[in-house]
Amino acid sequence: MDNNTSHITKLRAITAELPSLDTLVERRGQTHIEYAVEDGFCVGTGLWESKNVVVQRNVMSKGSCFETHEHDQSEIIIIVSGTLKANEQIYSAGEIIRFEPNVPHSVYAIENTEMIAILIPWGKGYPNAR
- Classify residue 51 as exposed, middle or buried by CB count within 10 Å of its CB (0-12, 13-18, 19+): exposed
The burial of 75, by beta-carbon neighbours within 10 Å (0-12 exposed, 13-18 middle, 19 or more buried), is given as buried
Q: Domains of the chain: which residue ranges?
A: 3-120
pLDDT in the model for residue 99: 93
Give the pLDDT score at 116.
93
pTM for the model stands at: 0.68
Give the strand order in the sheet containing 96-99.
32-35, 42-49, 54-60, 113-120, 74-81, 96-99
pLDDT given for residue 20 in this prediction? 47
pLDDT at residue 2, rounded to an integer: 57
* Beta-strand relationship, 105-109 and 54-60: unpaired
Q: What is the pLDDT of residue 22?
A: 43
Q: How far apart are CA 28 and CA 44, in angstroms?
A: 10
Cβ atoms of 57 and 118 within 8 Å: the answer is: no
**Residue ranges, the chain, pLDDT below 50:** 19-29, 128-130
Task: Give the architecture (CATH level 2) of 3-120.
Answer: Sandwich (2.60)
